[in-house]
Amino acid sequence: MTLAEKILARASGVPYVKPGDVVEPRVDLAMSHENAALVLHQFHEIFKGLAFEPQLWDPSKVAIIFDHRVPAESPKTASNQKRVREFASWQAISKFHDIRGDTGGICHQVLPENGYVRPGQVVVGTDSHTTSHGALGALAFGIGATEMASVWSLGRALNVEVPATIKVVVSGKFKPFVGPKDLILHLIGKITAQGANFKVLEFHGPTIRTMSTSGRLVLCNMSVEAGATAGIVPADAETARYLKEEAGVTEALDLVSPDADATYEAVIEIDASGLEPQIACPHTVDNVKPITAVAGKPIHQVVIGSCTNGRLDDLEVAAKIIRGKKVSSGTRMLVFPASGRIYRQALGKGYLGAFVQAGAVVMNPGCGPCLGVHEGALGDGEVALSTTNRNFKGRMGNPNSEVYLCSPAVAAASALKGVITDPREDH
């Protein structure tokens, strides 16, 4: 069995599954953010008229993290957050992360860095980028709010069709200023935005084995942009290191692997050493071009952050490029660390100071402008270059604007010039 099949079989209490089988896996972790307000509404709908009170199947397996609109931008959001906060308190949800500088952050960073996600788990989240958590060898996929209400009630995901798996084998060493973001953009460009729809991307090869968990999070995070149900990296020594050293996990881990004779629907091989920095051009994530094709394009806003590229190594790369220089006049640069922990680490290492001195605006951890709901909206006709994960029309809050996606290195080098810039030019 592939890794996804193996995890689903175990969680469903059956010895074997194959693609197309329908199973009801036990859920190990059920994550929501602000949309817990809708989950809560649907949860109460399920119990309406029944003879028993609404009750979470297991509050210790429910996580709620405020990140999409923090601090609240409107009374409506604040009231939704208040309702969810009261529910979390009533149900004693310990994995509730409120708007705080110490324990808050983006859900897809808070979950791994607190050790909530473990290899072999089934993780569901009311967010499409829940695929991120496959980086730790878990099967993690996005669901809607009503499906989450069902999981809250039963502790199982109902009628899950076992997806087929595509094996992605990556070899070769990245060139300087090329990394995981360029790799996943290249893959999405190659297989298209629907190339993995209803399927799992399972990542293998020497490049993946030597990649940090932070880099693996980038790959799994954006797997959904190829339509994938999940992206997954088989757990290994690096997974164990991350969970022990960075997430403080002390329990024994079950580093579950796919079987050697697993059946894959397709195998895709990529040589990472041949990659240039990649850019996803408007308005689809699969409209990917090498940087040479778009270099020189004027940009009005640069965004560094998000669940895709707001981690310490991302900020480090950007800070090294920015330090001692100035953001081009006419270009705004916004930086959003992915969590309070990363914010403090970046502060301690001087990265945030370097950004501010260069003229960037460092914002509080959260989803920020990524999905156009909170701050950093674009004006008519403006162009953004962003390390986030989507460039759909209207994504940054204005349908009359454009979003280009790139790595932190490209974003930082471009902020200095005010045009899309190859970071290899001057560094």
Partner 1 sequence: MQVTLTLANDISTDIIYPGRFMATVLPSETPQFAFADDLAFNGRLKAKEVPAGSVIVAGQNFGCGSSREQAVSCLKGHDLVIVAKSFARIFLQNAVNLGLRVVVCPGIEAVEGDKLEIGATLVRNLRSGKEFPVIALPPSRQSIIDAGGLIAFTRQRLMQLKKAV
Contact positions toward partner 1, by CB under 8 A? 20, 22, 34-35, 37-38, 41-42, 45-47, 50-52, 68-69, 74, 76-77, 80, 125-128, 130, 142-147, 149-150, 153-154, 158-161, 193-194, 197-198, 227, 229, 284, 371-373, 390, 392-395, 397, 399
CB atoms within 10 A of CB 300: 17
Q: What angle do CA 182, 186, 190 make, to 5 degrees?
A: 175
Query: In the structure encoding, which two tokens stand for residue 418, read together?
Result: 């005010």
Three-state SS for 8?
Answer: helix
Report the nearest approach of partner 1 to the CB of residue 21 (Å). 9
Q: Which of 267, 266, 223 is nearest to 108 (CA)?
A: 223
d(CA 410, CA 304): 10
In whole angstroms, the minimum distance from the beta carbon of 163 to partner 1 comes to 9
Query: From the CB of 324, what's the least distance to partner 1, in Å?
Result: 36
Q: Which is nearer to partner 1, 34 or 314 (CB)?
A: 34
Measured CA to CA, the distance from residue 327 to residue 176 in angstroms comes to 22
Q: Which residue, 174 or 392, is less far from partner 1 as judged by CB?
A: 392
Give the Cα-Cα-Cα angle 39, 42, 48 (nearest 5 degrees): 145
Q: Which two tokens stand for residue 322?
A: 């920015």
Q: How far is the CB of 64 from partner 1 (least distance, A)?
A: 14
Compare residues 41 and 209 and give the one whose CB is closer to partner 1: 41
Cβ of residue 239: shortest distance to partner 1, in angstroms? 25
Longest dimension (CA), the chain: 69
H/E segment holding residue 316:
helix 312-322
Report in angstroms how near the CB of residue 39 gets to partner 1 at its nearest: 9
Spatial separation of the C-alpha atoms in residues 101 and 343, rounded to whole Å: 8
Name the residue nearer to partner 1 (CB basis): 16 or 52: 52
- Nearer to partner 1 by Cβ, of 38 and 302: the residue is 38
Which of 143, 420 has the CB closer to partner 1? 143
Residue 295's CB is within 10 A of a number of other CB atoms, namely 17
DSSP E strands: which ranges in 149-210? Answer: 160-161, 164-171, 199-204
Q: Which CB atom, from 205 or from 368, has the smaller least distance to partner 1?
A: 368
Nearest CB to partner 1, comparing residues 278 and 391: 391
CB of 98 to partner 1, least distance (A): 17
- Torsion angles phi and psi, residue 8, rounded to 5: -65, -40
Please list the helix, strand and coil fractions of the chain in percent, rounded to the nearest 5, in that order.
35, 20, 45
Report, in Å, the least distance between residue 337 CB and partner 1.
Answer: 21
